[in-house]
């Protein structure tokens, strides 16, 4: 199978996820800037989730760029990743609607952890197809970012029951870690 279909389908799903998230932010009824104040938690949760979806889209692009052939395991693994990512709008809306409440923060972390694990599985399957000596395997290396992110997600989930702030900071740190581009992958594929 050609990877183009997989890329197009994944891009479409991610675009729909972002669209659903922004539709959760309703236009205020008033015409003053003060009327925007209740939307701040919704907007902040949207921004964080937009960044996460963008990070996954970017990394997914590079991962599939290094893929030479698609098999059934990769197709199902990709769907597994898209499943977890498709849940982000629900937790994003819940966090924004309830001012980052403990349960909403825990659910958000669980969905982020599920997405991270699904991505790691997809990455492993792609590397199995390409081989451990492939350019992609060399570019990914030890994948320390994924390991740190997994630990930070667990910290975020566990701390959400005690402090929404620590939980939120954990999720923000993960996003910041991934916002720093990995030059190794760009060098390998340029």
pLDDT value, residue 182: 66
Q: pTM of whole model > 0.75?
A: yes
> Computed from CA positions of residues 178, 77, 96, 18, in that sequence, does the dihedral angle turn out positive or negative?
positive
C-alpha distances in angstroms, 109 versus 7, 87, 159, 177? 26, 11, 10, 16
Domain range for 162 is 3-189
pLDDT value, residue 190: 66
pLDDT value, residue 134: 86
φ/ψ (deg, to 5) at 31: -120, 20
Q: What total of structural domains would you count in the chain?
A: 1
Residues of the chain with pLDDT under 70: 1, 181-184, 189-190
pLDDT value, residue 137: 85
Residues in the chain: 190
From CA 93, how far away is CA 22, in angstroms rounded?
9
pLDDT value, residue 138: 83
């Amino acid at each position: 199978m050609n990877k183009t279909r997989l890329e197009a389908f994944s891009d479409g799903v991610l675009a729909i996820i972002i669209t659903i998230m922004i539709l959760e932010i309703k236009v205020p009824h008033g015409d003053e800037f003060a009327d925007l104040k209740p939307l701040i938690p919704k907007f902040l949760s949207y921004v964080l989730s937009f960044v996460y979806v963008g990070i996954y889209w970017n990394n997914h692009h590079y991962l599939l760029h290094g893929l030479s052939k698609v098999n059934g395991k990769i197709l199902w693994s990709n769907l597994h990743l898209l499943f977890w990512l498709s849940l982000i709008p629900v937790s994003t809306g819940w966090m924004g609607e309830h001012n980052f409440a403990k349960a909403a923060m825990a659910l958000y972390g669980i969905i982020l952890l599920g997405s991270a694990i699904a991505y790691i599985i997809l990455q492993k399957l792609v590397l199995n197809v390409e081989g451990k000596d492939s350019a992609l395997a060399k570019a990914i290396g030890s994948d320390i970012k994924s390991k740190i992110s997994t630990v930070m997600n667990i910290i975020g989930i566990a701390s959400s029951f005690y402090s929404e702030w620590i939980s939120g900071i954990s999720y923000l740190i993960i996003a910041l870690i991934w916002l720093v581009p990995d030059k190794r992958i760009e060098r390998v594929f340029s």
